[in-house]
Structure 1
Amino acid sequence: MDVFCVAGEGGSVEVQQRADVPHADLVIACTSTDECNMLSCLIARRLGARHTIARVRNPIYYKQIDFLKKDLHLSMVVNPELIVAGDITRLLLFPDASKVETFVKGRVELVEFPIHCGKLEGLSLSELYARFQVQVLVCAVESGETVLIPDGDYILKAGDKLHIAASHQNMEQFFKKIALRKEKIKNAMICGGGRVAYYLASQLCNLGMNVKIIERNRERCEELCELLPKATIINGDATEHDLLIEEGIEKTDAFIALTGMDEENIIMSLFASKQSVSKVIVKINEDRRAMMIDELGLDSIVSAKTATADAILGYVRARRNSQCSANVETMYQLLDGRVEALEFIIKSENAYTGVPLKDLNLKVNNIIACIARGRKIIIPNGDDSIQVGDSVVIITMTKQIRDLDDILVKR
């Protein structure tokens, strides 16, 4: 990597000056200490850095984050554990999916799910849309080692992983029609009582789910009992087979492995799968293990590192194109970074606004997946057009898209 390294303490003025922070466009503080991150960002802004991003994980600090952002002049605050908890909550609300990303402030979902043998196998995408009559769009497919943005002639095969864009209501209707809609999650068992577990349990309890947390540290159990009065807290080792059976793993709807050890999470999740738990989610700390876990048949994997990187990268891309005709609002990397999903907000008139999509000459491997206009969510056809003020979601295999017109063939 072409990186210039400076050894020293990030909270030191002298070290930051050596690193040329006064002329930096962006400073990111992501040490393991919240206080150091916030202090480093404060110093960076005082020295002249234009934008700062701090990783803040402590729930106490995060509850007053608006105050801290204003007082410390932070451009962005990233809480990896809260991001992962939100990802898991969306998966539990949509248990058919192996991944769920959201756009347009949660109104549009991009869902990944694998095709097993069934009524979808052998259909072309055109036949799929005609048969089920729901406003959805299959916008990316992973088939074996191949990743592509398909057209209507693509034939679905067993083992394909589809990425589908739709509003939440249409997505639910689609899965109901193809008979893949699992039962609603009512009971969730969480193994590990760290920060992700706290944020996740808070969200699930607020949604009315029954939550049980198994944590081996007694002091942490006592803390969780105070913080989460609606949850059941069990002091014990979740890697013990007998304890999981005793606590009713075979009756739970969802099992989420959130310890700090990848190996423990994988073993527990495999055991939960053998007990026919409807939804199993495993958190990994080392992204290199993701492919191995995928081979083991565990369908939903979450990673704090990946979620944090996506959040920061989305902010950076938004700042880079702030002078363009469309701003990047949200960005996700899909399928090991081979595909990107970006949400643009159209700020001004351009060559592509007001033009029917069928008359726009898109580059290969790009697709306009969704247009949000006011309260309307549009899965577009060739007669639709993009207007100023729209939120537009595109799926692309082109790298470093900065503006919406980057996906158009220049005339």
Structure 2
Amino acid sequence: MQIIIVGCGKVGSILAEVLSQEGHDISIIDTNDSVVEEISNNYDTLGVVGNGASYSVLKEAGIEKAHLLIAVTDSDELNLLCCLIARKAGNCRTIARVRNPIYSDEARFIKDTIGLSMIINPEYEAACEMTRLLRFPSAIDINLFNRGHVELLNFEVEQGSIIDGMQIKDMRSKLKCDVLVCTIERDEKVIIPNGDFKILENDIVSIIAPHKKAVEFFVKLGMIPNPVKNTMIIGGGKLSYYLSQQLLKYGISVKIVEKDRTRCEELTELLPKAMIINGDGTDKKLLKEEGLKDIESFASLTGIDEENILLSLYVRSKIKGKIITKVNRICFDEVIDSLNLGSIISPKYITSEYILQYVRAMNNSIGSNVETLYKIKKDKAEAIEFYVNEGSKLIGVPLEKLDLKDNLLICSINRNGKTITPMGQDHIEKGDYVIVVTANARLHDLSDILRR
């Protein structure tokens, strides 16, 4: 597809890199000529310096033949204007990043009026992900497939866990749980295990299952997945507002610590059921006075990564509850992953992932049948959801008779709303949603799971 990306910040550069690697024809637009030159050289894209809301600039970038325009500048209004002009100039699909809470209640009206294909709010989407984690605190990370019916959950094997030393093939019979282990992360390596593989303490295990079965599994492990009852949030920005709004709906009490007095007054009006504290969240005395030792969860959501990391490390030494750390700069992911920061959230990374999912789903009509794709441990493995089209050569063949590539696992089949944990005798039918985990290069079609 021909795709134009307006705005070359963190999100725009991630999208340019990934989409160019996936074979799309990418044009980028930004007012910073050095940034345009760097991305163009690195990812073999057409670079145009200028304002993305200008018709002449869009025309130079190829708007008349473009299939999709993605506007991810720092200005909500500019993003919307870019999409509006692109719709008139090229009649392509459009995606706009819109962050201001003022527009959040009007998102559907804006989307329909301007004719946007998608509006994405990074802080809101990040808040949704954090809410899922706080309602299911046993998990480090939760990814959704098949419109939320199937979950991919990561968790760490604790000391004394009943699965420490257990072979994967024995888990179903011993635990009486219908979940499937997809990957094991050990010593910085991601392994797609067979039935003989033995799980050990400190392994990061990924399982895939419907929510109810995942809950049953965590109960059997003694990791009771009850939602937290309270949380302390450091920082009173947009993300904290969206998160608090959602948590309060679920009856979770919220305490926000924010330095800026004016912002505290705003939050008091916006969130009357939350407790708003005007103070420095890095002040250990303040945290103690506000009952740090009694909280069940903690989220460091300031605008400074270093502050969030140090806060989470300190709080980790004081409580056993769920910890969430906001980190925007993902270029040091190996260092960050080595720290005990609980669940790490990056709104910019979440934004790029949601947009990439839309592009892949859009690409289905052209030939590929990838519905959803998640990176596991960045680029070391992938979980991919396929929709099975008519004519697939895998239809009707028992899975045990498929000559599958190495380092690949068929994890789940969703058929007419029913989730099947696949066994050798199961087969794939037209209309199924099939989830595959692989350590191979990205699969473009379900048939790519075969050796030949």
Which amino acid in the other structure matches residue 186 of structure 1? Answer: K
Q: Deviations over 1:53-97 (max 9, x none)?
A: 110111221222222222212122221111111111111111111
Deviates more, 1:174-183 or 1:46-55: 174-183
Distance apart, 1:400 and its partner CA: 3.1
In the alignment, does 2:311 pair up with 1:268?
yes
Over aligned residue pairs, what C-alpha RMSD do you find? 1.7
- Please give the alpha-carbon distance, in whole angstroms, between the structure 1 residues aligned to 2:373 and 2:117: 17
- Please give the alpha-carbon distance, in whole angstroms, between the structure 2 residues aligned to 1:74 and 1:407: 35
**For 1:321, which of 354, 361, 364 is the aligned residue?**
364
1:17 corresponds in structure 2 to: 59
Which amino acid in the other structure matches residue 100 of structure 2? Answer: N
**For 1:204, which of 247, 256, 270 is the aligned residue?**
247
1:389 corresponds in structure 2 to: 431
Deviates more, 1:255-264 or 1:159-168: 159-168
Deviates more, 1:292-301 or 1:86-95: 292-301
- Please give the alpha-carbon distance, in whole angstroms, between the structure 2 residues aligned to 1:22 and 1:258: 41
- Please give the alpha-carbon distance, in whole angstroms, between the structure 1 residues aligned to 2:225 and 2:319: 13
- Please give the alpha-carbon distance, in whole angstroms, between the structure 1 residues aligned to 2:366 and 2:198: 41
Give the secondary structure class of the aligned counterpart of 2:365: coil
CA 1:367–1:208 in structure 2 vs 1: closer, same or farther (change >3 Å)? same
- Contact kept, 8 Å, 1:290 with 1:301, in 2: the verdict is no
Q: After the TM superposition, which parts of structure 1 deviate over 6 Å for at least 4 consecutive aligned residues?
A: none
In the alignment, does 2:282 pair up with 1:239?
yes
Between the two proteins, the alignment pairs up a number of residues equal to: 409
Structure 2: state its 5+ residue gaps.
1-41
Distance apart, 1:10 and its partner CA: 1.3
Distance apart, 1:112 and its partner CA: 0.8
In the alignment, does 2:279 pair up with 1:226?
no
Superposition map of 1:150-189 within 5 A:
150-181=193-224, 184-189=227-232
Which amino acid in the other structure matches residue 272 of structure 2? Answer: P
Which amino acid in the other structure matches residue 195 of structure 2? Answer: G
- Please give the alpha-carbon distance, in whole angstroms, between the structure 2 residues aligned to 1:313 and 1:331: 8
Structure 1: state its 5+ residue gaps.
none
1:68 corresponds in structure 2 to: 110
1:138 corresponds in structure 2 to: 181
In the alignment, does 2:331 pair up with 1:288?
yes
**For 1:47, which of 89, 96, 117 is the aligned residue?**
89
- Please give the alpha-carbon distance, in whole angstroms, between the structure 1 residues aligned to 2:314 and 2:225: 20
Identity among equivalent positions (%) equals 44
Which amino acid in the other structure matches residue 286 of structure 1? Answer: R
- Contact kept, 8 Å, 1:144 with 1:159, in 2: the verdict is no
Distance apart, 1:182 and its partner CA: 5.5
Give the secondary structure class of the aligned counterpart of 1:367: strand
- Contact kept, 8 Å, 2:135 with 2:226, in 1: the verdict is no
- Contact kept, 8 Å, 2:136 with 2:226, in 1: the verdict is no
Distance apart, 1:49 and its partner CA: 5.2
TM-score by length of 1: 0.95
In the alignment, does 2:192 pair up with 1:149?
yes
- Contact kept, 8 Å, 2:171 with 2:177, in 1: the verdict is no
- Contact kept, 8 Å, 1:30 with 1:55, in 2: the verdict is yes
CA 1:239–1:289 in structure 2 vs 1: closer, same or farther (change >3 Å)? farther
Which amino acid in the other structure matches residue 71 of structure 2? Answer: A
- Please give the alpha-carbon distance, in whole angstroms, between the structure 2 residues aligned to 1:21 and 1:54: 16
TM-score by length of 2: 0.87
Give the secondary structure class of the aligned counterpart of 1:6: strand
Distance apart, 1:196 and its partner CA: 0.9
- Please give the alpha-carbon distance, in whole angstroms, between the structure 1 residues aligned to 2:195 and 2:434: 21
Deviates more, 1:299-308 or 1:401-410: 401-410
- Please give the alpha-carbon distance, in whole angstroms, between the structure 2 residues aligned to 1:60 and 1:337: 36
In the alignment, does 2:343 pair up with 1:305?
no
